[in-house]
Amino acid sequence: MIRIIGIAAGAFFTLSVLWAFVTGAYTAITEPAPETAEHAFHKHPRELHLQSDGPFGTWNLQQLQRGYQVYKEVCSACHSLKFVAMRDLEQLGYSEAEVKAEAASWTVPGVDPDTGEATTRSGEPTDYFPSPYPNEVAAAAANNNAVPPDLSLMTKARHDGSAYVYSLLTGFQEQPEKLLEEFPQAKTPAGLHYNPYFANLNLAMAPPLTMDGQVTYADGTEATIDQMAQDVAAFLTWTAEPSLPKRKQTGWPVLGFLLFATILAYLAKQQIWARVKPDKNRQDD
């Protein structure tokens, strides 16, 4: 009796799930959801070609240094880089002395050795890049109740991460008149900024790159808004995965070895079974 009740209960739940699926699919086909402004006007990231792209990609150290300069002089006012140590800058081509000098230019939290009270001090190569705010409450209060995200892994956390960062930085604009005509309720609220590359089209971050020449590059590269956006996107690609080229360089020998091992195994199999001839007169029972 218990077995019959169990089978009946299982059949009931199975049929309920199947019925819900069928009715849901029918509703989705016959009554599609109304189009929203986000669906109609959201854009996919623009194309961005970096030297690190592709199976043989490598870092463009000059571009990474320029991107770090953009982060330091522009982005660090709001965004942290808490998973990156200052000593890692040596990977960008800086010497040990340059890394020490660069670290000393940052102010990081510290502790007074005499009183034990919280204080600040000059950074050291072993320090991680500091947050511009003491806590999330202060960060939200300074940014229209939106906490600026940490940028260490941003290009890994977003689809088409490098291109997304580049597109977002260069995508701030006025709302299209067509959008306001079709979706008047989607007008950008006060304090927010329209950007078609952002998921819901409006974000609290104001355009960080506002004019050409906002940063003066040490290598003489012309610092247009587009160039600065590309450079900082390349830099954040490095912060998210600094071992990217090394991983690619390691992958090719591994693939070569696996291919060689596969061929060797096949030849060994052929050699071992070469003397074994099938018995044509053998009949299966």
Q: Is 75 annotated as a binding residue?
A: yes
Write out the H or E segment, with its range, that includes residue 108.
strand 107-111
Q: What share of the chain is helix, strand, coil (3-state, %, to 5)?
A: 50, 5, 45
Collect all residues with Cβ–Cβ distance below 8 Å to 41 and sequence separation of at least 6: 176, 179, 196, 201
Contact 119, 135 (CB under 8 A): no
Within a 10 A sphere around the Cβ of 240, how many other Cβ atoms?
A: 20
**Structure-token match 């989607």, residue found:** 186
Token representation of residue 78: 């709001």
Q: Is 211 annotated as a binding residue?
A: no
Q: Is 39 annotated as a binding residue?
A: no
Question: Which amino acid is present at 3?
Answer: R
Q: What is the DSSP string of 187-246?
A: PPPTT-EE-TTSTTSEES---S--STTSS--TT-----HHHHHHHHHHHHHHHH-TTHHH
User: CA–CA distance from 281 to each of 273, 275, 284 (Å)?
Assistant: 19, 17, 10
Contact 131, 77 (CB under 8 A): no
Q: What is the SS3 assignment for 253?
A: helix
User: CA–CA distance from 273 to each of 161, 263, 283, 284 (Å)?
Assistant: 52, 16, 21, 21
**Structure-token match 């490095």, residue found:** 238
Instruction: Provide the annotated binding site.
Output: 75, 78-79, 205
Instruction: Provide the annotated binding site for heme c.
Output: 75, 78-79, 205
